[in-house]
Structure 1
């Protein structure tokens, strides 16, 4: 009948895709749906999957939801230990992977920090995120991890590259047998980006965080 409809979408891009879609381009693409007519929400979902898969060169999965469904939001996922209040002296706001270390018996932990800030390399605008780290391996020095995360404050890089850096630095410096790193970035232009890297197949990011 021509009445507009609104929904929210969860879009999952594989890390192995040969290309990524820059967030501004994605916003422009989504805005192109403003006056488009579709027979069903499933047709919108299929169209998005086909277009985005073609653009990035890998299979993209789109899940469409009614706004009335809502999106569950939490302060931090259940079971994650917040490290932001640990005592850290002489903080330096520079990228410093040497702050990372691990030692001792093998443990399995889930650590969380709300203090990741990086900067868009194109606009210079700040990007804010909550970092989630789940690992099995020698116990990571949590204060050193916090110092390392805070050191990103002057770093200019895209969301996905920041998470790749977090993941590779933790693998190299702390040598876990299993590792998952996810950054839950706050929204910019209606989109929240949640890069996620893991050593093994597992469920992706869970409920949206309150900050998002």
Structure 2
């Protein structure tokens, strides 16, 4: 397959694309992994992720770290950005947002391995950190630490 052909089915990249109204409406696109058969780690960091509290409607903020070891597919990054942005007006608890994102990515990509860390900023004085992964990490692949320190407040 020619390299250009792996992008032929993308509908969002290179086009003006509105932010989806909800995660259910968001389209996660994938492309064939040109390095299939090679174990390597891909990391996406979203330090300004937002969603809404489902009860109060107040905004919640998180720093997300998504690591995966691709199988046959890679996530197209613009579609991931739009998917994550679709949570901006979505009401769900921290746990639901974090785990739903991890499961949707795993379903779409069928990676060898995936993990997501949701480092949520405090509401009511309590930060909530949520972690999900699809199973044990394969041996022989470098998976760096997330690099996100636990919340310590000011100073």
TM-score by length of 2: 0.69
Query: Aligned pair in 2 of structure 1 residues 172, 204: CA closer, same or farther (>3 Å)?
Result: same
Structure 1: gaps of 5 or more residues? 1-86
Name whichever structure is richer in helix by fraction: 1
Q: Is 1:193 equivalent to 2:135 in the alignment?
A: no
Q: CA deviation at 1:98?
A: 1.9
Q: TM-score, normalised by structure 1?
A: 0.52
The 3-state SS of whatever aligns with 1:187 is strand
Instruction: State the shift of 1:91 in Å.
Output: 3.0
Alpha carbons 1:196, 1:204 under 8 Å: kept: no
Residue 101 (structure 1) aligns with: 30
In the alignment, the residues of structure 2 paired with residue 191 and residue 93 of structure 1 have an alpha-carbon distance, to the nearest angstrom, of 30
Are 2:51 and 2:59, in contact at CA under 8 Å, matched by a contact in 1? yes
| Root-mean-square deviation (Å) | 2.9
Q: Computing the radius of gyration over CA atoms, which structure comes out larger, 1 or 2?
A: 1
Deviation at 1:211, TM superposition (A): 9.0
Supply the distance in 2 between the matched residues of 1:205 and 1:186 (Cα, whole angstroms): 16
Contact 1:186/1:211 (8 A) holds in 2: no
Matched-pair contact (CA < 8 Å) for 2:65–2:146: no
Instruction: Say which is worse superposed, 92-101 or 108-117, in terms of deviation.
Output: 92-101
- Which structure exhibits the higher relative contact order, with contacts defined as CA atoms closer than 8 Å and separated by 6 or more residues? 2
1:205 deviates by: 8.1
Asked whether the equivalents of residues 130 and 185 of structure 1 are also in contact (C-alpha less than 8 Å), the reply is yes
Structure 2: which 5+ residue stretches go unaligned? 1-13, 138-144
Aligned equivalent of 1:156: 91
Distance 1:92 1:210, change over 3 A: farther
In structure 1, C-alpha distance between the alignment counterparts of 2:79 and 2:19, rounded to whole Å: 12
Give the corresponding residue for 2:80. 145
Rounded Cα–Cα distance in structure 1 between residues aligned with 2:17 and 2:89: 16
Shift of 1:195: 0.7
Alpha-carbon distance, 1:113 to partner: 1.0
On the 8 A contact 2:62/2:120 being kept in 1, the answer is yes
2:60 is aligned to 127
**How many correspondences in the alignment?**
127
